[in-house]
């Protein structure tokens, strides 16, 4: 790497919670800006034998973006999931919430259930918990 070359990395959160910086390319200074040279990448993991899972969202108040690691759609995105899958995981969260012996998981399950119920409402055009109807997105186009 020359003096004008900078490594480009992404932060990856592993299943054990550890965080690793993974290099994905090099930024080369060109005048006032940079040219980005990326290495070989795979998006979506379709070529892998085992499906890749995204880490749950870690920003406060966001909630998870993927289903928990069980069931047919484990690790799949919640947004855009089929209604039967959303209902399956919502029922699982409700079962956990009704089981006092699983109290240590209740906060996580409440957040998951809220995210799933919001997605169900979005797909059904029902009012959300805040009383509004979610805006239509590209997925809603005929």
pLDDT for 55-78, tens place per residue?
Answer: 444 344 568 899 998 888 888 999
Residue 19 located in a structural domain: yes
Residue 45 located in a structural domain: no
pLDDT digits (tens, 9 = 90+) for 126-142: 655 555 555 556 665 65
**In this structure, are 16 and 70 located in the same domain?**
no
**In this structure, are 31 and 79 located in the same domain?**
no
Q: Is the pLDDT of residue 124 over 80?
A: yes
**In this structure, are 58 and 97 located in the same domain?**
yes
Domain with 59, as residue range(s), is 51-142
Q: pLDDT band at 101, cuts 50/70/90? A: very high
Residue 43 located in a structural domain: no
**In this structure, are 33 and 88 located in the same domain?**
no
How long, in residues, is the chain?
Answer: 142
The DSSP result for the chain, as a single string, is --TTEEEEEEEEE-TTS-EEEEEEEEEEEETTEEEEEE----STTTTSSS---PPPP-STTT--SB--SSSTTTT-BSTT--HHHHHHHHHHHHHHHH-GGGGGGHHHHHHHHHHHHHHHHHHHT---TTSPPPPP-GGG--
Q: Is the pLDDT of residue 14 over 90?
A: no
Residue located via tokens 């090099």: 26
pLDDT given for residue 131 in this prediction: 58
Residue 73 located in a structural domain: yes
**In this structure, are 64 and 88 located in the same domain?**
yes
Q: What's the total number of domains in the chain?
A: 2
**In this structure, are 76 and 100 located in the same domain?**
yes
pTM over 0.85: no
16-30, 37-51, 74-88: least confident range: 37-51
Q: Is the pLDDT of residue 97 over 90?
A: yes
């Amino acid at each position: 790497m020359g003096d004008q070359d900078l490594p480009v990395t992404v932060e990856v959160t592993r299943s054990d919670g550890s965080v690793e910086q993974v290099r994905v390319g090099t930024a080369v200074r060109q005048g006032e800006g940079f040219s980005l040279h990326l290495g070989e990448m795979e998006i979506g993991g379709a070529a892998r034998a085992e499906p890749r899972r995204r880490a749950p969202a870690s920003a406060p108040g966001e909630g998870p973006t993927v289903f928990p690691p069980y069931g047919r759609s484990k690790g799949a995105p919640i947004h855009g999931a089929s209604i039967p899958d959303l209902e399956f995981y919502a029922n699982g969260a409700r079962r956990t919430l009704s089981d006092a012996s699983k109290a240590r998981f209740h906060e996580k399950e409440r957040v998951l259930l809220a995210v799933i119920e919001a997605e169900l409402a979005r797909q059904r055009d029902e009012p959300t918990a805040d009383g509004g109807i979610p805006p239509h997105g590209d997925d809603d186009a005929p």
